[in-house]
Structure 1
């Protein structure tokens, strides 16, 4: 340190100036700003050049975009002039200068709030554009299965590549590693692993049992994973089904959970799987709709003991079933350790504490928002629920709504009716005309984005919150 100023390893002070000639336009900044890009960046490599050099460093790049890059290094944010360039143009320049991480931080959407969310773009695969399955990454990236292909889109929603699999009608996809997907198909047998980095099939897992001839040609119905395991639900033509636990490091089957005949709604193959990091348990659900309405089950397994530790069936005994109003869909809020279900007839939303489950764990949420009365709510035979960022997103046909905790929420439960008031508040995310775009079939969150798939509609809707959001629910 010299007179209170830091020095670099070359002996220069961090407040020394450096001149750059980018595409014929002169820029002048300080070493400290340049070094903000990190030691591996191109600009940091130029930090040995200071104002003592007779000529500025020449960089043969677009000076207009560089001014955005320089502003990013100075303030950790993007200036308004960045709007003149596409996300891909900015990403390409950030890659050239070696400051992708800074740009990624600045460009990622703000914390996701369903109340303030809107559609920002639609991602369209190049061919066979009807999505059949999706999996979102924690960085906002998305992998889309369409036909027998899987297209990858990075955090910037730029197309990163497409691989053609040997499968048709992919119905399940799960990202088990940053570049590896586990995939199942409605028309092909087994669980298959694909490596995006090497564009190759890494292998397949099949459910077999030499002692039981009924176990053959098993198809995958749901996939989830933990840091060490992949959980895949398999279903045979004669309805025998189970969940296989697969070691992620060896891609070998470790154990078998929940083998059942599939002879009734209580024994059908699992349609949705979720691993709970807090307890290491696995939650699975199955829903079917027949002439007498919806029926299904929710179960929780301990992969270590291979035992069912809790289950509920609907229709079933007890008040929790609301006989004739079974759940149409189920999802788990992993962050809040809460289980949600949406009822098939009433459209009511109910929640249960995963840490305090019993014979009758459900508390039904009552909407007390006066602005939401007598509007689009109610039941729908195409209800879908997705939990993300401590919010429950529910679609009833084409409409999309969010249930979120209002500020200073009070949990008031009427013990007689098991109805909860005030804990969650409902708001619609879309306009009336938006709901006409098609029935929502899948919802998934990742990277502060919500991805929505509609029936027979090409592409994936991408929902984000506004950077200037200050919205709160209407009380």
Structure 2
């Protein structure tokens, strides 16, 4: 790097704007090397940062001096100018850049540049690294934050990784195994189990239980958690009584954790199988302002289930889909694609219902081979499906695939919609143990597999640090 770096060329001759330029340009001495930038660039760092102090120091007509590494300063100055780290930053340890960014007070800009969701390129994803976990238990659940922080439950432990995946910590819980996990912030998660009473709000930094939320069922027995979800203002928890004779979905305020309302409460009498199925997956649908709650049950006659769209204000079921022919092995909903997607437990094929036909359900539209729907080979057993952006990701046994919509003349109604299937990864990334979880955060995808004590990190090859 040259000893003198400048953002604006300096002219040796007279310029009518010379006075304006000289008052706008700031010279900084970092570790004996001079840098020049503008006041506007320094203000991009925000107030109460060291860069803003440099801006104020320039008013005294003296060159501020910092006894810091000039090369790392150059990288952060480039981050201020462009919003991205320069390519030369790849020759430095990311942890060194993080430490320096914290010193200058611009770590928030570093997080934004390195975990920007717009840098997520689905068709270019490759397995980039493995995150090892301590102990003998494989991951049971994973959850992420928008900036790419990752939380993994394995056995009675929850391991958290920061957005850079450089720092990890592990906390011991009171659960023997965690069956539901949801990130609420960079250090707080909601966790529950099907054999342990209560929904726990855990502060993983402090290693404490902030709240334990229970459902007051009629039999006054324990209330085990079957699923967790959230919207921008609510936390949802699906509970089942310890005696398995009642279930409900409780809605909490996301800030105070106070109960807001209760919906879809079922008291089971006799052989009412439909109401005996608790919801195990809760998805908020912003465009409809409805909660999609789904659950399935395996019995002597096969796998059956239901999908309910719930209005929180009235507590009513607005739309319900009964699943009997090819019940879902897994199911999700996409606001971006305006559709509900499932992978059939019998066929192993992906199908969808267009939300533009909301309330007028007739049948699922198969993206694969609809003829397999009636077989009972359970080819989809254990398969996973998740939506991220405008893509549908499928974990079928050990392989990852995604479905992308192909727009034909702008038509997006019913069977006129066309989706194309793609296989993810390079040849060496394909196959492996059955996929158990998929999660998305920032510009990364996280994958776990059966019996493996690690998490796979998938990134675009062009976006890796």
User: What interval of TM-score do these two structures reach, taking the shorter chain for normalisation?
Assistant: 0.7 to 0.9
Q: Does 1:150 align with 2:158?
A: yes
Provide the residue aligned with 2:345 in structure 1.
Answer: 344
* Count of matched residue positions in the alignment of Structure 1 and Structure 2: 435
Alignment equivalent of 2:30, drawn from 6, 9, 21: 21
Alignment equivalent of 1:91, drawn from 98, 119, 124: 98
Q: Distance in 1 between matches of 2:163 and 2:77?
A: 22
Deviation at 1:121, TM superposition (A): 2.3
Q: Distance in 2 between matches of 1:125 and 1:5?
A: 59
Tell me the SS of whatever aligns to 2:367. strand
Provide the residue aligned with 2:460 in structure 1.
Answer: 465
Tell me the SS of whatever aligns to 1:453. strand
Q: Distance in 1 between matches of 2:298 and 2:85?
A: 50
Provide the residue aligned with 1:333 in structure 2.
Answer: 334
Tell me the SS of whatever aligns to 2:197. coil
Provide the residue aligned with 2:372 in structure 1.
Answer: none
Please tell me whether the aligned partners of residues 351 and 368 of structure 2 are also in contact (alpha carbons under 8 angstroms). no
Provide the residue aligned with 1:234 in structure 2.
Answer: 239
Written as runs of structure 1 = structure 2, the 5 A alignment for 1:121-270 is: 121-127=129-135, 130-159=138-167, 161-196=169-204, 198-209=206-217, 212-213=218-219, 215-240=220-245, 241-260=247-266, 261=268, 263=271, 266=274, 267-270=276-279
Q: Distance in 2 between matches of 1:353 and 1:124?
A: 40
Provide the residue aligned with 2:423 in structure 1.
Answer: 428
Please tell me whether the aligned partners of residues 113 and 465 of structure 1 are also in contact (alpha carbons under 8 angstroms). yes
Q: Distance in 2 between matches of 1:275 and 1:103?
A: 30
Written as runs of structure 1 = structure 2, the 5 A alignment for 1:441-460 is: 441-460=436-455
Give the gaps of 5 or more residues in structure 2.
Answer: 1-14, 370-377
Task: Return 63-72 or 333-342, whichever deviates more.
Answer: 63-72
Deviation at 1:251, TM superposition (A): 2.3
Deviation at 1:331, TM superposition (A): 0.4
Query: Structure 1 residues 47, 306: closer, same or farther in 2, change over 3 A?
Result: closer
Deviation at 1:383, TM superposition (A): 1.4
Provide the residue aligned with 1:359 in structure 2.
Answer: 361
Please tell me whether the aligned partners of residues 257 and 306 of structure 1 are also in contact (alpha carbons under 8 angstroms). yes
Q: Distance in 1 between matches of 2:387 and 2:409?
A: 18
- Once the two structures are superposed, residues 193-227 of structure 1 have per-residue CA deviations (whole angstroms, 9 ceiling, x without a partner) of 12345542122122223xx32x5122101011223
Task: Return 336-345 or 243-252, whichever deviates more.
Answer: 243-252
TM-score by length of structure 1 reads: 0.82
TM-score by length of structure 2 reads: 0.83
Q: CA RMSD in A?
A: 3.1
Q: Distance in 2 between matches of 1:202 and 1:129?
A: 25
Q: Does 1:401 align with 2:364?
A: no
Q: Distance in 2 between matches of 1:82 and 1:228?
A: 38
Q: Does 1:120 align with 2:128?
A: yes
Deviation at 1:300, TM superposition (A): 1.3
Tell me the SS of whatever aligns to 2:221. coil
